[in-house]
Chain A
């Protein structure tokens, strides 16, 4: 295993991208993502990384440049947050449809208005249907490890789709952690060179991004959907290989204390680290509760989720974003759709918290577990609770 060093997660991610021998980066700075591309820019201009760094005038241009560079056969990376992700949205949809394996780190941040630079999953929720593979990391080590993984899965010839690696802005991005870097030979063993399956080549000209008339557009969309669904097995293979090479085990759905618990909360991102403390607090009260954390959000790992939840009697669905005017918020909507018609039918309560950087305390999560206990005892529990909001 590589040596552990105390380093900010963003810097470690940039170092991981550099270790993956990225060819091309186009980016525009935006809080709280900035440190990643700032550090990559330093590495390029100091001559430590042989890559093309394209400083652009907006995120729309950043993703457009990434689209072009990836189409030219370059291993391509960018990073953004919140408003930046919204500004690049047009091209965010185009890149997966053109099957270009761009890797993008997204430091999750709330969406304006009001202006908030702080963390929630508003930006994550906004790109749900763009066609990117989406991994939601929990901590700095996972952020580091997901960089080689993202390039490997994205560029796999069975996948050839872009990947977003989401991680909580500030809470993870600016946290200094002890992170084990990979050895260069481990990266080399894990990540083969990029062999583009489609590329712009003057000797073999092709047309990319052509018109899809009504007679063919529908077929292209289903083909894209199936390609994304099929990528799940490639992610699992890569997780297995990652464990073999660097000794850390990742699963598409992570569980904590689920061998004993019949009460569980479903959540994504760094929140589960706080929730682990709440699980311990509940244990001290003599109640076994657990955490289910989908690490892979797209493609949604339905079978793995159902396996994780199979013994659960009371399930809490924790959202950190709004679906304005919807029946439920994004994560709850997804999970309830997965459970509908399945043999597993836990009682469900929905929660929203940690919005726009609002602090989440262990007691908040203990309170949510308390609601699930109440629900199991037959007490009335609101369908959706807005935890920590001022009434």
Chain B
């Protein structure tokens, strides 16, 4: 992505059309996060509400049936923390 942002105005492709689909994956939005969701499996009922509500689509089901965020893309919005029925997801500051 970096090279695209260094174009001069004369080099802008017509209509600023971008010919590399899925390039948003290169943009690791996890760096935006100040707090991360952490799951306590002892309270988790594997309902998947966190997975359903995640606006980033970055929560996936693990082989054991628990749920986990991909921290490369999780922006730390906290919606999963808010929505979890059993309050098993804690919001932990990134510094700790």
**B12 an interface residue at 8 Å Cβ cutoff?**
yes
| Cα-based distance from A216 to B5 in the complex (angstroms) | 5
Q: Are B17 and A198 interface neighbours, CB within 8 A?
A: yes
In contact, A97 and B15 (Cβ under 8 angstroms): yes
B5/A198 in contact, CB under 8 A: no
Please give, as numbers and ranges, the residues of chain A lying within 8 Å of B7 by CB-CB distance. 216, 219
Count of interface residues, chain A, beta-carbon cutoff 8 Å? 23
Per-residue contact bits, chain A 37-68, to B (CB 8 Å; 1 contact, 0 not): 00000000000000000000000000000000
Q: Does A109 contact B (CB under 8 A)?
A: no
Q: How far is the CA of A204 from the CA of B4 in the complex (A)?
A: 19
Contacts of A222 in B (CB 8 A): 9
Could you give, for residues 4-29 of chain B, a 1 whenever the CB lies within 8 Å of some chain A CB and a 0 otherwise? 11011110101111111101000000
Complex Cα–Cα for A160 and B7 (A): 21
Known: A213-B5, A216-B5, A216-B7. A206 touches B12 (CB 8 A): no
**Interface residue ranges of A83-105 to B (CB < 8 Å):** 97-100
Q: Which of B5, B8, B10, B17 contacts A206 (CB 8 A)?
A: B17
**Contact of A207 with B by CB under 8 A:** yes
Contact A207 B18 (CB under 8 A): yes
Give the B interface residue count (CB, 8 A): 16
Is the CB–CB distance between B23 and A160 below 8 Å?
A: no
- Nearest A residue to B16 via CB reads A220
Question: Which residues of B sit under 8 angstroms from A178, Cβ to Cβ?
Answer: none
Please state if A99 and B8 are interface contacts (CB–CB under 8 Å): no
Residues of chain A from 160 to 209 with CB closer than 8 A to chain B in the complex: 160, 197-198, 204-208
Expressed in whole angstroms, the Cα–Cα distance for A85 and B21 within the complex equals 33
**Does the CB pair B9–A219 fall under 8 Å?**
yes
Of residues 14 to 63 in B, which have CB atoms within 8 Å of A's CB atoms? 14-21, 23
Q: Which residues of B contact A98 (CB under 8 A)?
A: 15-17
From residue A203, how far is it (CB to closest CB) to chain B in Å? 12
B69 to chain A, nearest CB (A): 23
Find A210's partner among B5, B9, B10, B16 (CB 8 Å cutoff). B16
Q: Kindly provide the distance from the CB of B92 to the nearest chain A CB, expressed in whole angstroms.
A: 29
Looking at the complex, which one of A99, A100, A206 makes contact with B21 (CB distance below 8 Å)? A206
Question: Cα distance A207–B14 when bound, in Å?
Answer: 12
Q: Is residue A380 contacting chain B, with contact meaning CB distance below 8 A? A: no
Q: Does A115 contact B (CB under 8 A)?
A: no
Asked, given contacts A205-B21, A207-B23, A223-B10, whether A215 binds B5 with beta carbons under 8 Å apart, the answer is yes
A99 vs B17: C-alpha distance in the bound complex, in angstroms?
A: 9
Quick check: B17 and A208 within 8 Å, CB to CB?
A: yes
B14 partner, pick from A160, A212, A216, beta carbons under 8 A = A160
- Give bound CA distance, A199 to B41, whole Å: 48
Other 7 A-B pairs with CB < 8 A, given A204-B19, A207-B17: A99-B15, A160-B15, A198-B17, A206-B17, A207-B21, A216-B5, A220-B9
Q: What 8 pairs across the A-B complex have the smallest Cβ distances? A: A99-B15, A223-B12, A219-B9, A215-B5, A222-B9, A207-B18, A205-B21, A98-B15
Instruction: List 27 A-B pairs, Cβ < 8 Å.
Output: A97-B16, A160-B14, A197-B14, A198-B15, A198-B17, A206-B17, A206-B18, A206-B21, A207-B17, A207-B18, A207-B21, A207-B23, A208-B17, A210-B16, A212-B16, A213-B5, A216-B12, A216-B16, A218-B9, A219-B7, A219-B8, A219-B9, A220-B9, A220-B16, A223-B10, A223-B12, A226-B9
